[in-house]
Amino acid sequence: MKYSIIIPYRNREEHLLILLPRLQEVFKNKEYEIIISEQGNDDNFQIAIVENIGYLHATGDVIVLHQVDYYPTDDVSYEYDGSVTLPAQKGIFLDKGNQEVRPLEDVPAGYRDFYHEIEPNFYGGVIFMSRDQFEAINGLNPLYKGWGNEDEDLRERIKWAGLPCKRNEVGTYYCLYHEDNGDIHNKDGQKQQDFHEGRQLFVNAYQYKDIGHRHIEYTYKEVATQFNNVKWICSTNYKIKEQC
């Protein structure tokens, strides 16, 4: 069984250099590949498209969507047993130096409970499933722009497809430091508009449940990297094709 770990990426080199060696250590006894899927333009970050593109370049049997700021500790399991799996049970946020635990009052309010138990309905961060399961939901909805809503949409797609899904009973991640609300990923002045449009899109998510990776067009180039088992894809010029 081969794992394809897809990391959606832009301007997070510090995080990437921390996460990649850790993932190589975690998966050293498995057959695996790591795909860095980079958005190569300055538009608001489109994580759903970027993750779909990573999938289109993946060759594994198990697809792991893995955000770059989630660093797995020793109690995290990536063992696939047939269910869509959320491996994170708890998140510990680190400070700017990524060495010390971030004071609780400095953690964004919506994430403070992650220290105890991640919100059961939170499907962001890290999630993995089989290739057949990813195909069954046509991946993620590529219509979202900016930050937010796409993980909630993914949660509903999994439910609508009737796929078995579970959250592991243990699994602690260090959440590497970044600015609140995806500021790194979003252009000033556009962030809130895209978020509110995304909320409206999510309200009508069932209408778009069949639009996914099979409906995107893009251009890309491969980026050289010194890491073993790592493929780096930098994409841009995103377009959504008419629904088949």
> How far is the C-alpha of 37 from the C-alpha of 48, rounded, in Å?
11
Give the pLDDT confidence of 83-112 residue by residue, as tens digits: 999 999 999 999 999 989 998 888 887 788
What is residue 90's DSSP assignment?
E
What is residue 101's DSSP assignment?
B
CATH number at residue 74: 3.90.550.10
Query: Which pLDDT belongs to residue 57?
Result: 98
What's the total number of domains in the chain?
Answer: 1
Backbone torsions φ then ψ of 239, nearest 5 degrees = -140, 150
Starting at the edge strand found earlier in the chain, the sheet holding 172-175 runs: 70-72, 172-175, 90-93
Please identify which residue in the block is written with the tokens 């370049």: 57
Give the pLDDT confidence of 172-191 residue by residue, as tens digits: 999 999 775 444 444 556 66
> How far is the C-alpha of 33 from the C-alpha of 47, rounded, in Å?
20
Give the pLDDT confidence of 208-240 residue by residue, as tens digits: 999 999 999 999 999 999 999 999 999 999 999
Say whether pLDDT at 16 is over 90. yes
Give the pLDDT confidence of 119-174 residue by residue, as tens digits: 889 999 999 999 999 999 999 999 998 777 999 999 999 999 999 999 999 999 99
CA 163 from chain centre, in angstroms, equals 19
Q: Which amino acid is at 119?
A: E
Neighbours of 235 (CB within 10 A): 23
C-alpha distances (whole Å) from 163 to each of 127, 130, 174, 223, 239 are: 13, 11, 28, 35, 28
C-alpha distances (whole Å) from 155 to each of 83, 95, 158, 165 are: 13, 29, 5, 10
Q: Which domain holds residue 39?
A: 2-240
- The b/e string for 72-98 (b: 16+ C-beta within 10 A; e otherwise) is beeebebebeeebbbbbbbbebbeeeb
Tokens linked to 201:
């899109």
Cβ–Cβ < 8 Å for 46, 17: no
Contacts of 214 (CB under 8 A, 6+ apart): 138, 139, 244
Please identify which residue in the block is written with the tokens 């430091």: 177
